[in-house]
């Protein structure tokens, strides 16, 4: 009987994601284990920064932690420059934290860039950095929430556009907050992605982000940041960040060079629509992710057969997703699909880093939102799951590739629907014009590893949402991840 129950529970808890094993990393009890940043050092050790401002280094051989630095203000990202120096994003600044006397403890906290404003509003988080091959750092600045006002003392120039500063100090903020906008950018570069050169010079890169929780650069050198469903975001997004792009949230516009002084809330949606670059991928709310986090390039072959794709975490699902980029006529788009999903993954997957051995460290946080804490190391055991390997748009539909051959594929094996989200001031959007995509033909390659799905019609500006629940490999395996959403901005 016991064996039967064991069998039952092991069946219940073994996810289709068979190839990954999970190891919980023990964190010292004195540390609030909400992880704001994770990185891998050149010597292979892992550095983590935490909610209360500590930076700890995890020795991967002895599995012990040592405190490296402390006292930082809500650090939300860390990059190791070498084995003694780190670039860390904390709320007020990008800081070079150095151990100058090589005793294993930081003794210099050098302000590297603090030229952005702060109103003291709780939602003005600062994310990043990520570093490119030339040594430039990229950071991203949250906009404020009208769930609170601003502090009496601020840092930086104040934008009076739409609501003068004194109105922010009205006793009854509830009556004024609507005029500020649900989310607002009153000090410089809130809602922007910035580049900081190795010598500390700042260049504003792109505007229109709302809550860009993490940055990552892919194999082609493209910079990505996620954004969270909310006002002006019908659903969560993955933005491809490039110079002078506007990603859609208008609050940031007053900090654009030569801005005409209009209240961004008064700019007609049509005008904003023309200005904005559509997201490289959408995370349908309640389906793939509700609060996506740091993108990370899969830079190795040791974490499954997905080298050069990107990972993206999520706060609300027990999930880390894969992003399969598809550049079509110069437009970045592509598909998202879960990679690690369900137990024993947990929610709050805020930060990711690959160890030198190709294992993935996942750091969790929650602050006051849905989430969790702690760090989990995920190791691929070399067993390849039956998975969608990649997806590309064709002139007539999609080409899907798989990690294992299929015997057959018919329209009965999966469901494909298309829909879009509204671009508007309101918070979120329902899925609009949700309809079945009419499949006219399916052809499988001779080796069974790829399939062409031909559609009657291909529409731009749509999410193509695949439910691949009956697709089976030649050996009868079900797909590890059965829900995949392709964001189609541009036809082939």
Partner 1 sequence: MKNVWLFISMLVLCQGYAAEKLSPEEEKGKSLYTLNCMACHALDKMVVGPSLVEIAHIYKGKAEGIVTWSMAPGKKRKLAIRMPPMSHVGEERLKQISSYIFKATKGMKYVKEKSKGDPYATFPKAKIQRMFMPDAGPAAIAVSLNENVHLCWDAGTCQFRYAWNGGYIDPWPVLRGNGNGLVKLKGEKFVYAKQGNPFSKGPVKFNGYRVKQGLPVFMFKADGVNFEVELSTQNSNEVTATFTTDSNKALTYTPQLSQGSWSASTGKVTDGSLSLTADQAKKFSITFKAGDK
Within residues 427-486, the interface with partner 1 by CB under 8 A covers 427-431
Shortest Å, Cβ 88 to partner 1: 11
- Tell which one of 347, 391, 455, 488 touches partner 1 (CB under 8 A): 347
106 binds partner 1 (CB under 8 A): yes
111 binds partner 1 (CB under 8 A): yes
Which residue intervals of 172-230 are DSSP H helices? 173-180
User: Regarding beta strands 360-364 and 374-380, do their DSSP bridges make them parallel or antiparallel, or are they unpaired?
Assistant: antiparallel
Strand partners, 192: 207
Query: What whole-number distance in Å separates Cα of residue 54 and Cα of residue 70?
Result: 4
- Kindly give, in sequence order, each residue whose CB lies less than 8 Å from that of residue 364, ignoring residues fewer than 6 positions away: 33, 34, 35, 346, 347, 348, 349, 350, 371, 372, 373, 374, 375, 376
- Give the range of 116-124, 323-331, 397-405, 449-457 binding partner 1 by CB under 8 A: 116-124
Within residues 46-105, the interface with partner 1 by CB under 8 A covers 51-54, 70-74, 90-93, 95-96
Count of positions on this chain that bind partner 1 (CB under 8 A): 65
Shortest Å, Cβ 38 to partner 1: 20
**What tokens does 130 get?**
């990520």
Nearer to partner 1, 96 or 280 (CB): 96
Contacts with partner 1, 394-433, as mask; x by CB under 8 A: --------------------------------xxxxxx--
312 binds partner 1 (CB under 8 A): no
229 binds partner 1 (CB under 8 A): yes
- Tell which one of 368, 381, 447, 476 touches partner 1 (CB under 8 A): 368
* CA-wise closest residue to 476 among 399, 388, 386, 359: 386
**What tokens does 206 get?**
């792109």
CB-facing half-sphere around the CA of 416: CA atoms within 13 A? 22
- Tell which one of 104, 147, 164, 178 touches partner 1 (CB under 8 A): 147
Nearer to partner 1, 98 or 262 (CB): 98
Shortest Å, Cβ 249 to partner 1: 15
Q: Is-contact 60 45, C-beta < 8 A?
A: yes
Query: CA 262, 264, 270: angle at the middle one, nearest 5?
Result: 105
128 binds partner 1 (CB under 8 A): no
Nearer to partner 1, 315 or 391 (CB): 315
Burial per residue of 323-351, b for 16 or more beta-carbon CB atoms within 10 angstroms, e otherwise: bbbbbbeebbbbbbbbbbbeeebbbbbbb
Which residue intervals of 225-351 are DSSP H helices? 269-275
148 binds partner 1 (CB under 8 A): yes
Strand partners, 78: 88
- Tell which one of 1, 171, 412, 447 touches partner 1 (CB under 8 A): 1
**What tokens does 357 get?**
């051995």
Q: List residues binding partner 1 (CB under 8 A).
A: 1, 3-5, 7-8, 30, 32, 51-54, 70-74, 90-93, 95-96, 106-111, 114, 118-120, 122-123, 125, 145, 147-148, 151, 153-155, 229-230, 285-287, 290, 315-317, 347, 366-371, 426-431
């Amino acid at each position: 009987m016991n064996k039967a129950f064991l069998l039952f529970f092991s069946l219940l808890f073994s996810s289709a994601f068979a190839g990954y094993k999970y190891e919980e990393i023990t964190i010292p009890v004195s540390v609030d284990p909400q992880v704001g940043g994770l990185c891998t050092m050149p010597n292979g050790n892992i550095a983590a920064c935490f909610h209360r401002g500590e930076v700890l280094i995890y020795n991967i051989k002895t599995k012990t932690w040592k405190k490296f630095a402390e006292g930082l203000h809500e650090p939300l990202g860390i990059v190791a420059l070498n084995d003694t120096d780190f670039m860390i994003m904390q709320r007020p600044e990008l800081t070079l934290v150095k151990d100058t006397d090589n005793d294993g403890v930081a003794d210099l906290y050098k302000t590297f860039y603090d030229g952005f404003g702060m109103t003291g509003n709780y939602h003005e988080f600062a994310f990043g950095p990520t570093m490119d091959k030339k040594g430039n750092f990229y950071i991203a600045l949250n906009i404020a929430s009208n769930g609170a006002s601003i502090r009496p003392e601020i840092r930086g120039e104040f934008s009076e556009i739409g609501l003068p500063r004194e109105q922010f100090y009205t006793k009854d903020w509830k009556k004024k907050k609507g005029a500020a906008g649900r989310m607002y950018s009153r000090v410089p570069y809130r809602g922007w992605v910035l580049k900081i050169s190795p010598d500390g010079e700042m260049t504003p890169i792109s505007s229109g982000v709302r809550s860009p929780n993490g940055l990552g650069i892919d194999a082609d050198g493209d910079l990505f940041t996620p954004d969270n469903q909310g006002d002006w975001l019908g659903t969560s997004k993955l933005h491809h960040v490039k110079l002078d792009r506007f990603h859609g949230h208008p609050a940031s516009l007053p900090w654009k060079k030569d801005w005409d002084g209009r209240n961004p809330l008064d700019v007609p949606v049509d005008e904003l629509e023309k200005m904005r670059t559509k997201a490289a991928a959408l995370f349908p709310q309640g389906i793939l992710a509700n609060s996506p986090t740091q993108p990370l390039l899969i830079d190795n072959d040791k974490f499954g057969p997905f080298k050069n794709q990107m990972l993206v975490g999520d706060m609300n699902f027990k999930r880390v997703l894969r992003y399969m980029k598809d550049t079509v006529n110069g437009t970045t788009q592509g598909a998202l699909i879960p990679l690690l999903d369900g137990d024993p993954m947990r929610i709050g997957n805020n930060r990711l880093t690959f160890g030198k051995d190709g294992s993935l460290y996942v750091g969790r946080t929650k602050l006051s939102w849905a989430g969790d804490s702690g760090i989990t190391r995920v190791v691929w055991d070399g067993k390849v799951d039956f998975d969608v390997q990649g997806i590309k748009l064709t002139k007539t539909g999609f080409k899907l590739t798989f990690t294992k051959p299929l015997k057959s594929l018919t329209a009965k094996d999966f469901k494909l629907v298309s829909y879009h989200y509204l671009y508007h001031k309101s918070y979120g959007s329902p899925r609009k014009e949700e309809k079945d995509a009419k499949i006219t033909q399916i052809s499988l390659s001779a080796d069974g590893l790829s399939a062409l799905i031909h559609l009657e019609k291909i529409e731009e500006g749509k999410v193509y949402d695949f439910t691949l629940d009956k697709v089976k490999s030649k050996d009868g395996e079900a797909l590890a991840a059965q829900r995949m959403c392709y964001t189609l901005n541009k036809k082939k």
